[in-house]
């Protein structure tokens, strides 16, 4: 009899569900894709239903349902923090506690009820509780009872399990870094076969993730989503300037203390996340930095870019030192990485190039969504003692395409609803040839294929594509298609076979979690006075012969595309290469600013019609904007997607 496990993460941000059978990943998806509410923190009813439908399991057939963290421990952390910082924390205490009491302390009951509501089996009758002990790393329930077990694991064990168990390594050091779980904010562990040993942890309120989020907040971006923007802004900083140096010294000297092992002490005089409803003490920051907080959506000035660069460098120092400690205490050649900070692909690229580890693997859903999968894998390998299949050199993520897929009938029904006009292709080569031709002529194409991606990046199944050689493509995509800030960078999807012609790359990056330098020979020399130029001048300087994906530091995050994991996407780029000699395309996620990545054919068609995209490919069908019926909506759709 096989062991079937459902993993759930919820009630913080990026709720998700994942289902596995005997350690094999069958399906995984984030709730936001179904509810169309970005970073949806609610119970992932839709994702659970999808996982069960995809696997063919009913709730009653499951051996366990596992929740990705321990609510009682988190509650203990909140209570102790409020107590320690009293009376300063009173305001956030009164606003947070009712939510906790309602949702989190009664989590067992809530999960049971929510699962029952999904109508996929009688959950209330068969779930048994196995609440685990108070220590974070003695994670899983020990008692055994018949029926489905409801298990709770610790937050960082979920992250660590999501990083190690699907990795291509038989043994590896594991580093998890995020904002905060229950108490832990970072951990180092060692994985071998089906075992995972936690060795070290760093505790709240000292946190590399919350440090980065505090700067995200101070620079006018949203916490838990704008961290990517802060990273994208950092290369606009002037690397040799006195200001960047001064900011770095002030951060290191006053706000934090980075120890030799990478652990970091945050001076709580500057931070309010432990006690207040905001991240930072703005007055103290302004006095220290001589720079007021930036209001959201206001002009980005050089000082803002310089501060972004300073905190990015500090974060890289922390990540590299933590990795060096992980190397020292495990002696492993391999590193697995997860937790929200593992989405910082600039730091990851530097870590890889540092040579601390010979090889590195990152969980594509490195943030809290990934905890659903990690929890399920931890339950299988640690709680049930399930063996890990021999490692074959490839990871077990199936290219991270683990979400729903749609048939040609689904696509035809969606098209009929919108009275949409399409051309059907029966031959994949012909479809890819035609699409490559459109891309080579400068068109922007929405590309919707197969199963939706797991994690925050679009990897060729829910993707908007353009020609990276086109010098106006970045501007066009940002302003007319994504409706987002002009400085935001774009990533290339490059054929693995062509990657070395463009980038200084030694390892594959299938999940777009690493950066690599554009080769020197492709770069244009910087004009005199470049570093003193304004943000706009820097943005529109043509830096290479693939300008739309050459970010200011010449290091785009990139996706290597492999024929065996995504043959359709690979064929399209290969056709483009045959036509143009260029083996890469600009790839940006299929959505507009503030919208979750599209899930269904209808979501994709709506996004296509609302933007200035020229063509849409849904499965085997090509839609030309010029011949579609006029698009009408009764209200302004942008209101549904607040600014992210
Ligand atoms: Fe986390």
pLDDT of 539 = 76
Centre of ligand 1 to C-alpha 551, Å, is 28
Coil vs helix vs strand at 463:
strand
CA of 155 to the centre of ligand 1 (A): 6
The answer to whether residue 74 scores a pLDDT higher than 80 is no
Q: What separation in Å is there between the alpha carbon of 370 and the centre of ligand 1?
A: 9
User: Is the bond leading into 230 cis (omega within 30 degrees of zero)?
Assistant: no
| Neighbour order of strands in the sheet with 64-67 | 24-30, 16-21, 4-9, 64-67, 148-152, 127-130
Q: Give the 3-state secondary structure of 467-514.
A: CCCCCCHHHHHHHHHCCCCCCCCCEEEEECCCHHHHEECCCCCCCCCE
CA of 163 to the centre of ligand 1 (A): 12
Mean pLDDT along residues 172-195: 91
557-576, pLDDT tens digit by residue? 899 999 999 999 999 999 99
Average pLDDT, the chain: 87
Sheet strands (E) in 219-277: 256-258, 264-266
Could you tell me which residues come within 8 angstroms of residue 112 by beta carbon, excluding any fewer than 6 positions away?
123, 124, 127, 150
Q: How far is the CA of 160 from the centre of ligand 1 (A)?
A: 10
Residue 193 CB neighbours (<10 A):
12
Q: How far is the CA of 588 from the centre of ligand 1 (A)?
A: 25
Check residue 124 and give its pLDDT: 39
Q: Please report how the helices 242-250 and 302-330 are oriented relative to each other, as an axis angle in degrees rounded to 10.
A: 50
Of 2-6, 148-152, 155-159, 279-283, minimum mean pLDDT range: 148-152
Give the start-to-end residue ranges of the domains of the chain.
Answer: 4-166+364-396, 168-362, 408-640
Confidence of residue 489 (pLDDT cuts 50, 70, 90): confident
Ligand 1: distance of its center to the CA of 583 in Å?
36
Closest C-alpha among 471, 516, 526 to residue 492: 516
CB 386 within 8 A of CB 23: yes
Spatial contact of 234 and 309, defined as CB atoms under 8 Å apart: yes
Report the candidate in 275, 324, 286 with the shortest Cα–Cα distance to residue 84.
275
Instruction: Say whether 464 sits in a helix, a strand or coil.
Output: strand
Instruction: Report, as an integer, the average pLDDT of 210-228.
Output: 90
Q: How far is the CA of 19 from the centre of ligand 1 (A)?
A: 19
Nearest CA to 67 out of 2, 15, 3 is that of 15
- At residue 342, the 3 state secondary structure works out as helix
Separation of CA 180 and ligand 1 centre (Å) = 6
- Ligand 1 centre and the CA of 115: distance in Å? 23
The answer to whether 436 touches 428, Cβ cutoff 8 Å, is: no
Question: Among candidates 576, 613, 573, which has minimal Cα distance to 592?
Answer: 613
* Residue 95 pLDDT > 70: no
Give the least confident one: 278-292, 353-367, 627-641: 627-641
* 567 CB-near residues (< 8 Å, 6+ apart): none
Average pLDDT over residues 372-379: 96
By percentage, how much of the chain surpasses pLDDT 70? Answer: 88
CATH of domain 168-362: 3.30.420.40
Cα(69) to centroid(ligand 1), Å: 9
Counting runs of H as helices and runs of E as strands, what totals does the chain give? 21, 24
For 573, the enclosing helix (H) or strand (E) is: helix 567-580
Residue 171's closest CA among 327, 322, 377, 334? 334
Beta carbons within 10 angstroms of residue 428's beta carbon:
14
Residue 318 CA, ligand 1 centroid: distance in Å: 17
CB-based burial label for 11 (10 Å; 0-12, 13-18, 19+): buried
Burial 343-360 (b: 16+ CB within 10 A, else e): bbbbbbbbbbbeebbeeb
End-to-end CA distance of the chain: 45
* Predicted local confidence at residue 142, as pLDDT: 38
- The CATH number given to 4-166+364-396 is 3.30.420.40
Contact 558, 508 (CB under 8 A): no
- For the stretch 545-554, pLDDT in tens is 998 898 888 8
Asked whether residue 218 carries a pLDDT value surpassing 80, the answer given is yes
Ligand 1 centroid to residue 179 C-alpha, Å: 6
Ligand 1 midpoint to CA 224 (Å): 11
Q: What is the Å distance from ligand 1's center to 186 Cα?
A: 9
**Confidence (pLDDT) at 129:** 29
CA 184 to centroid of ligand 1, rounded, Å: 9
Q: What is the mean pLDDT of residues 123-142?
A: 34
Q: How far is CA 3 from CA 23, 112, 146, in A?
A: 8, 20, 13
The residue-averaged pLDDT of 316-331 equals 95
CA 309–ligand 1 middle distance (angstroms) = 24
Distances from the Cα of 112 to the Cα of 43, 47, 58, 128, angstroms:
11, 15, 14, 9
In the reported structure, the alpha carbon of residue 572 is separated from the centroid of ligand 1 by a whole-number distance in angstroms of 36
What per-residue confidence (pLDDT) applies to 279? 87
Contact, 473 vs 600, CB < 8 A? no
Gap between the Cα atoms of 261 and 592, Å rounded? 41
C-alpha neighbours within 13 Å on the C-beta side of residue 581 = 3
- Strand ranges (E), 41-181: 64-67, 127-130, 148-152, 171-177
How confident is the model over 229-249, as pLDDT tens digits?
899 899 889 888 999 999 999
CA of 534 to the centre of ligand 1 (A): 36
Q: What is the pLDDT of residue 78?
A: 67
Q: 488 C-alpha vs ligand 1 centroid, how far in Å?
A: 25
pLDDT value of residue 136: 31
Output the CA 485–ligand 1 centroid distance in Å.
27
Is residue 583 within 8 Å of residue 536, measured between CB atoms?
no
pLDDT band at 519 (very low <50, low <70, confident <90, very high): very high
Report how far ligand 1's centroid is from the alpha carbon of 513 (Å): 17
**Distance of CA 25 to CAs 5, 111, 377, 408, 597, Å?**
10, 22, 9, 25, 22
178 alpha carbon – ligand 1 mean position (Å) = 5
Q: What angle separates helix 107-117 from helix 45-55, to the nearest 10 degrees?
A: 60
**SS3 for 29?**
strand
Percent helix / strand / coil, the chain, rounded to 5 = 40, 20, 40
* Ligand 1 geometric centre to CA of 271 (Å): 19
* C-alpha torsion angle, residues 533, 350, 472, 643 (rounded to 10): -90
Q: Would you say the CATH fold of 168-362 matches that of 4-166+364-396?
A: yes
Q: Which one has a higher pLDDT value, 601 or 87?
A: 601
Query: Residue 212: which of 154, 241, 251 has the closest Cα?
Result: 251
- For residue 623, the SS3 value is strand
> 537 C-alpha to center of ligand 1: Å?
37
How far, in Å, from the CA of 475 to the mean position of ligand 1?
33
Report the CATH superfamily, name and number, of domain 408-640: Carbamoyltransferase, C-terminal domain (3.90.870.20)
Q: Reduce the DSSP state of residue 276 to 3 states and report it.
A: coil
Residue 143 is classified by DSSP as -
The pLDDT score that the predictor gives to residue 11 is 82
> Per residue in 393-436, pLDDT tens?
789 999 999 999 999 999 999 999 999 999 999 999 999 999 99
pLDDT confidence band for 593 (50 / 70 / 90): confident
Q: How far is the CA of 182 from the centre of ligand 1 (A)?
A: 9
Rounded to whole angstroms, the Cα distance separating 610 from 632 reads 9
């Amino acid at each position: 009899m096989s062991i079937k496990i459902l993993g759930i993460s919820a009630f913080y941000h990026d709720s998700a569900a994942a289902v596995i059978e005997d350690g094999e990943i069958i399906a995984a998806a984030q709730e936001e894709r179904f509810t169309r509410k970005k970073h949806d923190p609610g119970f992932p009813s839709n994702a659970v239903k999808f996982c069960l439908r995809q696997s063919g399991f009913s709730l009653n057939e499951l051996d366990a349902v596992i929740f990705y963290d321990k609510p009682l421990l988190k509650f203990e952390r909140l209570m102790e923090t409020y107590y320690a910082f009293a009376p300063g924390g009173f305001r956030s205490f009164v606003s947070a506690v009712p939510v906790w009491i309602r949702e989190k302390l009664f989590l067992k009951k809530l999960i049971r009820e929510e699962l029952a509501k999904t109508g996929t089996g009688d959950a209330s009758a068969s779930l048994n509780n196995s609440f685990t002990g108070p220590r974070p790393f003695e994670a899983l329930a020990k008692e055994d009872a018949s029926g489905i077990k409801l298990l709770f694991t610790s937050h960082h064990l979920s992250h660590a399990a999501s990083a190690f168990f699907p990795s291509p390594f038989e043994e590896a050091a594991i580093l998890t870094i995020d904002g905060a779980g229950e108490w832990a904010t970072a951990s180092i562990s060692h994985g071998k076969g089906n075992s995972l040993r936690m060795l070290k942890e760093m505790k709240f309120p000292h946190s590399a993730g919350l440090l980065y989020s505090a700067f995200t907040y101070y620079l006018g971006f949203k916490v838990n989503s704008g961290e990517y923007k802060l990273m994208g802004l950092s290369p606009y900083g002037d690397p040799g300037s006195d200001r960047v140096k001064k900011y770095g010294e002030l951060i290191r000297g006053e706000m934090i203390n980075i120890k030799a092992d990478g652990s970091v002490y945050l001076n709580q005089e500057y931070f309010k996340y432990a006690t207040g409803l905001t991240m930072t003490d703005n007055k103290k920051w302004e006095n220290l930095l001589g720079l007021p907080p930036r209001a959201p959506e206001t002009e980005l000035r050089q000082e803002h870019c310089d501060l972004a660069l300073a905190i990015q460098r500090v974060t890289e120092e922390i990540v590299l030192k933590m990795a060096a400690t992980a190397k020292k205490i495990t002696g492993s050649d391999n590193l697995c990485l997860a937790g929200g900070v593992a989405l910082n692909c600039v730091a990851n690229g530097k870590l890889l190039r540092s040579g601390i580890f010979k090889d590195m693997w990152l969980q594509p859903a490195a943030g809290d969504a990934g905890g659903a999968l990690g929890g399920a894998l931890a339950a299988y390998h640690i709680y049930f003692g399930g063996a890990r299949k021999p490692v074959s050199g490839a990871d077990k993520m199936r290219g991270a395409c683990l979400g729903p897929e749609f048939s040609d009938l689904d696509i035809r029904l969606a098209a009929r609803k919108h009275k949409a006009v399409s051309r059907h292709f029966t031959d994949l080569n012909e479809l890819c040839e035609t699409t490559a031709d459109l891309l080579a002529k400068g068109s922007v194409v929405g590309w919707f294929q197969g199963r939706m991606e797991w994690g925050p990046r679009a990897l060729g199944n829910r993707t908007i594509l353009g020609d990276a050689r086109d010098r106006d493509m970045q501007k066009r995509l940002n302003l007319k298609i994504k409706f987002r800030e002009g400085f935001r960078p774009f990533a290339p999807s490059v054929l693995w076979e062509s990657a070395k012609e463009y980038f200084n790359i030694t390892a594959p990056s299938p999940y777009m979690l690493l950066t690599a330098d554009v080769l020197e020979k492709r770069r244009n020399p910087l004009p005199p006075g470049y570093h003193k130029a304004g943000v706009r001048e820097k943005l529109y300087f043509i830096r290479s012969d693939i300008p739309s994906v050459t970010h200011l530091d010449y290091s785009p995050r990139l996706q290597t595309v492999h024929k065996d994991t995504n043959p359709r996407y690979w064929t399209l780029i290969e056709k483009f290469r045959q036509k143009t000699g260029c083996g890469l395309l600009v790839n940006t996620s299929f959505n507009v600013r503030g919208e979750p990545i599209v899930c269904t054919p209808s979501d994709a068609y709506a996004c296509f019609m609302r933007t200035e995209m020229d063509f849409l490919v849904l499965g085997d069908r090509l839609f030309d904007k010029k011949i579609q019926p006029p698009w009408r909506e009764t209200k302004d759709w942008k209101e549904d997607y607040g600014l992210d």
